[in-house]
Amino acid sequence: MPLEYTIDPSRRLVIITGEYGDDVEWRDVLERVRADPDYASGFSFLRDLRNARHPVTPQVVARIVAVVREAWPLLQPRRAAMVAPRDLESPVMVAHALADDAEIPLRAFTSYDAALEWLAAK
């Protein structure tokens, strides 16, 4: 399943779903989000991996984080969260560590509700 997104303007939230994807797919989805008239800077991002079944390698995760780091100043999001089941935590934790190193405010969660709560917190 390719990367798809929905925008919830009332919550100032972009939700990205689908398989992990690679850096090319991530560049595409972030460009589509940026061009979407419903998107505004200051929105948060939620990456929902609960239905993903095919994790990617640490090398692909590094390329994805590079794309996110490149897009971050253009999108100007508030923060980002990832939700994944425990059996997919390894790529998520690699992404979390790389994002932290790039000073991108991203946290990993196994609870969808906890991620939403963190994204909405002041």
What residue ranges define each of the domains in the chain, with the CATH number in brackets?
4-120 (3.30.750.24)
- C-alpha 76/C-alpha 97 separation (Å) is 20
Instruction: Report yes or no: 81 and 115 within 8 Å, Cβ to Cβ.
Output: yes
- C-alpha 27/C-alpha 71 separation (Å) is 8
* Residue 36: per-residue pLDDT: 98
pLDDT string in tens for the chain (122-residue length): 689 999 999 999 999 999 888 999 999 999 999 999 999 999 999 999 998 888 888 888 899 999 999 999 999 999 999 998 875 567 777 887 878 877 888 888 989 999 999 999 97
pLDDT in tens, 74-106: 999 999 999 988 755 677 778 878 788 778 888
Question: In the 3-class helix/strand/coil scheme, how is 54-93 assigned residue by residue?
Answer: CCCCHHHHHHHHHHHHHHHHHHCCCCEEEECCHHHHHHHH
Instruction: Report yes or no: 39 and 9 within 8 Å, Cβ to Cβ.
Output: no
pTM for the whole structure: 0.91
